[in-house]
Chain A
């Protein structure tokens, strides 16, 4: 055994001793994940558009998706009934009867995409294709002309959509000092 090898091994053995003491305090039992495993699970979409998938959809394609899969709960043109109203209410937030809808209240268009993709339709969530989610998001946004009738939304254009109430929120964390 050469001096060189011995010189390498001795500090390594000492490190091992130290780290085994540390490991006794910490289980380190988590299973490492590959990037592929993570990307299959990660459905989070941020307001900046991080996490948006490839693909896209037009207002007209979205109108069809809406009629087939959404209208029975949310009514014609998202006006509500029997379930939540999705459109309208712009400009009502300072009134005595504010109408809080995704269009009048939500600050980010990406939230519509993120929520529809993970949770809608209620009876069969996660059953729409990404193209269908882009399309139906475009359609809902088009009803109150937040996007034009010929809009096609994708990973690049969706985060650019300016929601009517985008500046309406005051962040309360960390809790402001009084």
Chain B
């Protein structure tokens, strides 16, 4: 153990260099120990007058705190929080955003998963909650939470993205906020639960059925129409999120999971599935989540989240610490399947370099991309462009905006740009 903690000469020289030639006592001591070892003299440095604790940090010299029932992040991480604004008179509505710019990897911690509620988070007693399947079925059925726990389960790592994510990209000027502020209605979890097709099969869906209306047990009884073919494909009644029971904000005790489909359809606090022949024009599929075009017509039932990516490090609001090495890293995803390629540009889209994708590269899940970058200290414009396994390519912002009415902001998946200035500041720009 001790050997592993000793710096090698390369580390020592780097440490020395970063201290700008100032050799403090600690560095000298370690250099001495290393020299002694290399000379084969065996013995460590003499410590006749002091203990090794003189060099040790405080937390090595006193017992740490005791066990805890539910662990929390370090107090030094207290700024890693969801961002939100409470709307006057409607505290239960609105959204909170995942601080993507403060996280790494692809799995979102449960307490930081984005939220979107339509009338607050209900406090559901699982012993009084049932999932009902009815409508065009042979046998209308109710499933208690306890009952569902007895069914065979499966796990899927999938992203969820609110249809309104990145909505501010429709504004004429780029909003100066963080990558999480712009794109944080996006999270990714391992969801575990019961395949919906198994429950629909048990109820025996009628031949003429085409749609299923899903309804939540919140104070908005939020409801959406879902194509039956999705329900019979990879849809799940999710009971667990990253290994623990789904959080109340995510639908405790159960939510509908429709991998790749817009977040709003993944109905939380799921209580009812009505099998039908047609969709119902629920409020949230007419007033919201439709795409108004310049000719006044609106696309409706646009469910698939488009292929999309964003560079997270570095990103808007960050400061570069001088020229030199940086890893460009970001997130890519597609509602249609796996991400097949992410390209990165540092010159505003004139040239592109293919980034490495960090495994696992999963279908309808966040994928991390990485690219080493030597920043020469001059102004640069960073952009990323994702392609999915279906061959769909992330469009430019201009191409996306041109399809729609100026008020349209749902389903934005255009290319995003960060301007790195010579002074190291990073700003959001439209390219």
A5: Cβ under 8 A from any B Cβ: no
Within 8 A of B (CB), among A106-134: 106-108, 110-111, 114-115, 118-119, 122, 125-126
> Given A30-B133, A43-B221, A82-B89, A98 and B405 touching (CB < 8 A)?
yes
Q: A33-B141, A83-B89 are in contact. Are A108 and B287 (CB under 8 A)?
A: no
Residues on the A chain within 8 Å of B141, using CB: 30-33
Q: Can you list, as one digit per residue, whether each of B293-317 has a CB less than 8 Å from chain A (1) or not (0)?
A: 0111111111110000000000000
Are A93's CB and B292's CB within 8 A?
yes
Whether, in the assembled complex, A177 has its beta carbon less than 8 Å from a beta carbon of chain B, the answer is no
B280 touches which one: A31, A94, A105, A114 (CB < 8 A)? Answer: A114
**Interface membership of chain A positions 124-162, coded 1 if the CB is closer than 8 angstroms to chain B and 0 otherwise:** 011000000000000000000000000000000000000
Question: Is B422 close to A, CB under 8 A?
Answer: no
Whether A44 is near chain B, meaning CB under 8 Å from some CB there, is: yes
Using a CB-CB cutoff of 8 Å, which residues 113-171 of chain B contact chain A? 118-119, 130, 132-134, 139-144, 147, 150-152
B139, B215, B286, B297 — most chain A CB neighbours (10 Å) = B286
Judged by a CB distance under 8 angstroms, whether B88 is at the interface is: yes
| Residue in chain A with minimal CB distance to B302 | A172
Most chain B beta carbons < 10 A, residue from A47, A119, A125: A119
How far is B296's CA from A107's CA once the two chains are assembled, in angstroms?
13
Q: For the complex, give the distance between the alpha carbons of A42 and B199 in Å.
A: 19
Measured in the bound complex, the distance between the Cα atoms of B276 and A125 in whole Å is 25
Q: Is the CB of B292 within 8 A of A119?
A: no
Interface bits A14-32 vs B (CB < 8 Å: 1, else 0): 0000000000001111111
Chain B residues near A82 (CB, 8 Å)?
88-89
Chain B residues near A41: list those with CB within 8 A: 132, 134, 271-272
Contact B283 A114 (CB under 8 A): yes
Q: Which of B139, B272, B291, B299 contacts A30 (CB 8 A)?
A: B139
Point out the residues of chain B lying under 8 angstroms from A33, CB to CB.
132, 134, 140-142
B202 close to A172 (CB less than 8 A): no
Known A169-B300, A172-B300; judge A46-B280 contact (CB<8 A).
yes
B407 at the interface (CB under 8 A from A): yes
Contact of B213 among A44, A83, A105, A122 (CB under 8 A): A44
Decide if B290 is an interface residue (CB 8 Å cutoff). Answer: yes
Known A-B contacts A82-B89, A98-B407; the reply to A26 vs B201 at CB < 8 A is yes
Quick check: is B347 within 8 A (CB to CB) of the other chain? no
| With A43-B221, A83-B89 as contacts: A171 and B278 at CB distance below 8 Å | no
Task: Check B23 for interface membership: any CB of A closer than 8 A.
Answer: no
Whether, in the assembled complex, B398 has its beta carbon less than 8 Å from a beta carbon of chain A, the answer is no
Among B42-66, those with CB < 8 Å from A are none
Interface presence of B281 (CB below 8 A): yes
The answer to whether the Cβ of B223 comes within 8 Å of any Cβ in the partner chain is yes
Complex contacts, A27 vs chain B, CB 8 Å: 150-152, 202
Q: Is the CB of A94 within 8 A of B140?
A: no
Chain B residues near A171 (CB-CB < 8 A): 300-301
With A30-B143, A97-B407 in contact, do A106 and B221 touch (Cβ < 8 Å)?
no
B198 beta carbon closer than 8 Å to chain A: yes
Give the shortest distance, in Å, between A167 (CB) and chain B (any CB): 9
A38 touches B290 (CB 8 A): no
Q: Are B297 and A119 in contact (CB under 8 A)?
A: no
Contact A94 B295 (CB under 8 A): yes
Contact A170 B283 (CB under 8 A): no
Residues from chain A with a CB closer than 8 A to the CB of B302 are 172-173
Q: Does B406 contact A (CB under 8 A)?
A: yes
CB-based contact A94/B296 at 8 Å: yes
- B147 with A125: CB separation less than 8 A: no
CA distance A172 to B304 in the complex (A): 10
Complex CA gap A122/B133 in Å reads 27
Output the least CB separation between B193 and chain A (Å): 14
CB contacts (< 8 Å) of A61 on chain B: these are none
Instruction: Indicate if A65 sits at the interface (CB-CB under 8 A).
Output: no
In-complex Cβ contact of B147 among A31, A100, A173 (8 A): A31
Determine if B298 and A169 form an interchain contact, defined as CB atoms under 8 angstroms apart: yes
A119 to B283, CA, bound (A): 10
Partner of A32, one of B140, B198, B220: B140
| A168 and B219 alpha carbons, distance in the complex (Å) | 29
Q: Which of A37, A73, A105, A175 contacts B287 (CB 8 A)?
A: A105
Please indicate the chain A residues that have their CB under 8 angstroms from the CB of B152 in the complex.
27
Contact with A along B259-297 (1 / 0, CB 8 A): 000000000000110101010111100110011101111
Q: Does B90 contact A (CB under 8 A)?
A: yes
**Best-surrounded residue of B147, B220, B298 (most CB of chain A within 10 A):** B298
A2: Cβ under 8 A from any B Cβ = no
Say how far B118's CB is from chain A's closest CB, in angstroms.
7
Q: Is there contact, CB below 8 Å, between A73 and B276?
A: no
Residues of chain A lying within 8 A (CB to CB) of residue B140: 32-33, 35, 37-38
A98-B292, A168-B298, A169-B297 given. 9 additional CB < 8 A pairs? A27-B202, A29-B150, A30-B143, A35-B140, A37-B142, A46-B276, A46-B280, A111-B286, A172-B291
21 intermolecular pairs with C-beta atoms under 8 Å apart? A27-B150, A31-B130, A31-B143, A32-B139, A33-B132, A46-B280, A47-B278, A47-B280, A98-B407, A105-B298, A106-B287, A114-B280, A115-B283, A119-B283, A168-B297, A169-B297, A169-B299, A170-B298, A171-B300, A172-B291, A174-B227
Using CB atoms and an 8 Å cutoff, list the residues of chain A in contact with chain B: 26-33, 35, 37-38, 41-47, 73, 82-83, 93-94, 96-98, 100, 102, 105-108, 110-111, 114-115, 118-119, 122, 125-126, 168-175
Across the A-B interface, the 3 shortest Cβ-Cβ residue pairs: A30-B141, A94-B296, A118-B221
